[in-house]
Structure 1
Amino acid sequence: MPLLLDEVEREEVTEAWDELWDRLCLHGETVSAASFAALPRLTALAPARAQALELANAIVRGTLRHPDGDALLAGCPNEVDRLRELVDQRLRTRPADYNRLFSDLLALAGQYHWSASFGDFTDDFYAVSCPGCEAEVTIAVGDYGCYAAIRDWDQGDIERRSLRPAPAEELRDPGRWMHAAAVRDGQQRLAEGIRYVFGHAECPACDSVFTIAEAHTNANLPPALETY
């Protein structure tokens, strides 16, 4: 591994990067202790090598998939802060891969479940459990509508109820800083989508109103990590 890192530090070698990906983040998601051990060198290389930034971010996104990921990542606090700074700088330039980089930013902020869930809000769906009656509710945010529904195998989404987006001024973190970053960078669709997923939904089964973000978090994080 050190030899491969030495090679990519000297020059941009496609074969070496391919091998690093295979060893450190297979299929873009499978990480190991070696992956986190490589983070300091990848982070140091990231300002000059886009591949290094992308690979380092992928390793951070894989934290929850490794049994000791949190502990291993905790040993690299300076690297995580530096990567978050670099990604935020890139986002300000409004790159073509903005949404992917935004997901990286969420992971670097410890919001792994949102990092794995956010799309581009053209056709996003979230499956959550109603806190009131435990019915499985589909949350849709996109061109086909912004609603809560019961998903039927034959009929599709039925008994739709319109979502209630959170006013921007009432958002609280992490939704507040996510929304602020999207607005800052002129990503209006993303900003509006964030207002919806941090807003409220009405359960079609029992009519109770619940916070979408809280229900989504509870459905996607282990109990010890539940936070929103």
Structure 2
Amino acid sequence: MIDWTQVLDPRGTAGRVPALLDQVERVGGAEAWDGLWDELCLDGETVVPASFAALPRLVALGRTSPQALSLAGSIMRGALQDHGADDLLLKCTDAAARLRKLLDQRLESRPAGYLHAFRDLLAADGQYHWSAVLGDFTDDFYHLRCPHCDVEVTVAIGDYGRYSAIRDWHAGDTERRDLRPAPPEDLVGTGRWMYDTAVRDGQDRLATGLTYLFGRAECPRCASTFVIAAEYTAANLPSPGE
């Protein structure tokens, strides 16, 4: 049993949270949901210990409530913040697994705001770095270092082009090299899962963009090639609580 008066929220304790959860479970209501967002995911992004204390109940509500599913997903996207609740987060393993299933089912219905739900699913699966940065591939940039010569490379995937380049803040992206998309049949692991989900749900732009993200880039400086997603992951995948 959780002693909610001992769980921190943006105002110091989370004494209001159980009553708000009871209210949305019984009758719903925009005011109660707004109150929960303020307590558990302030400004849609800041989480606190109470967020993870409430997560199992939100996931249970998420079977019938899109609002609960959205709030639970947003909480998971904040798992890498300095929230001081690593112990509570570790207790959410089962809730995160149930959340993954619910979010995957929701994506199959192709909801409005598909990308947001897709990023929630990534967070529930522990793919926090992709959850934080994945875009819709209309205007996406990834900045990483060449693993061979250590020069900073800008990778662009969007309507303006799909290339690697050296970014000059005066001249723009220079020395461009076309990216080499991965054949879908060659994708494995996280990349294959993300691609297959996008294809299943008819998200053609997202699926195509993922083949470039998990494809290869050429370094404009030393002409070596590398897998974009692998280098980005190596540089940006911390553990929860770091």
> TM-score of the superposition, structure 2-length normalised?
0.88
Task: Tell me, in whole angstroms, the C-alpha distance in 2 between the residues paired with 1:45 and 1:77.
Answer: 17
Q: Report deviation, 1:10.
A: 1.2
Task: Tell me, in whole angstroms, the C-alpha distance in 2 between the residues paired with 1:209 and 1:71.
Answer: 41
The amino acid of 1:8's aligned partner reads V
Q: Report deviation, 1:74.
A: 2.4
What is the identity percentage for the equivalent residue pairs of Structure 1 and Structure 2? 61
Report the equivalent of 2:94.
78
Q: Report deviation, 1:26.
A: 1.0
Task: Tell me, in whole angstroms, the C-alpha distance in 2 between the residues paired with 1:183 and 1:70.
Answer: 35
Q: Report deviation, 1:59.
A: 0.6
SS in 2 for 1:146: strand
- State how 1:135-154 maps to structure 2 within 5 Å: 135-154=151-170
Task: Tell me, in whole angstroms, the C-alpha distance in 2 between the residues paired with 1:216 and 1:203.
Answer: 14
Residue range with higher mean Cα deviation, 37-46 or 62-71: 62-71
- State how 1:72-221 maps to structure 2 within 5 Å: 72-221=88-237
Preserved CA contact (<8 Å) 2:143 2:154: yes
Query: Are 1:15 and 2:43 counterparts?
Result: no
SS in 2 for 1:166: coil
Task: Tell me, in whole angstroms, the C-alpha distance in 2 between the residues paired with 1:69 and 1:107.
Answer: 17
Q: Report deviation, 1:69.
A: 5.3
SS in 1 for 2:153: strand
Pair 91,224 (structure 1): closer, same or farther in 2 beyond 3 Å: closer
Report the equivalent of 2:77.
61
Q: Report deviation, 1:221.
A: 2.3
The amino acid of 1:145's aligned partner reads G
Task: Tell me, in whole angstroms, the C-alpha distance in 2 between the residues paired with 1:224 and 1:81.
Answer: 16
Relative contact order: is structure 1 or structure 2 higher (C-alpha 8 Å, sep ≥ 6)? 2
Task: Tell me, in whole angstroms, the C-alpha distance in 2 between the residues paired with 1:177 and 1:69.
Answer: 29
Pair 157,169 (structure 1): closer, same or farther in 2 beyond 3 Å: same
Q: Deviations over 1:181-215 (max 9, x none)?
A: 11111111111111111111011111111110111
Q: Deviations over 1:105-129 (max 9, x none)?
A: 1111110100111111111111111
Preserved CA contact (<8 Å) 1:60 1:108: yes
Task: Tell me, in whole angstroms, the C-alpha distance in 1 between the residues paired with 2:68 and 2:89.
Answer: 17
**Total equivalences in the alignment:** 225
> TM-score of the superposition, structure 1-length normalised?
0.93
Task: Tell me, in whole angstroms, the C-alpha distance in 2 between the residues paired with 1:81 and 1:220.
Answer: 23
The amino acid of 2:51's aligned partner reads S
Task: Tell me, in whole angstroms, the C-alpha distance in 2 between the residues paired with 1:211 and 1:188.
Answer: 22
Task: Tell me, in whole angstroms, the C-alpha distance in 1 between the residues paired with 2:97 and 2:240.
Answer: 23
What residue ranges of structure 2 are gaps of 5+ in the alignment?
1-16
Q: Deviations over 1:109-159 (max 9, x none)?
A: 110100111111111111111111111111100111100011111111110
SS in 2 for 1:38: helix
SS in 1 for 2:223: coil
Preserved CA contact (<8 Å) 2:47 2:78: yes
Alpha-carbon RMSD: 1.7
Query: Are 1:33 and 2:49 counterparts?
Result: yes
Q: Deviations over 1:76-95 (max 9, x none)?
A: 22211111111111111111
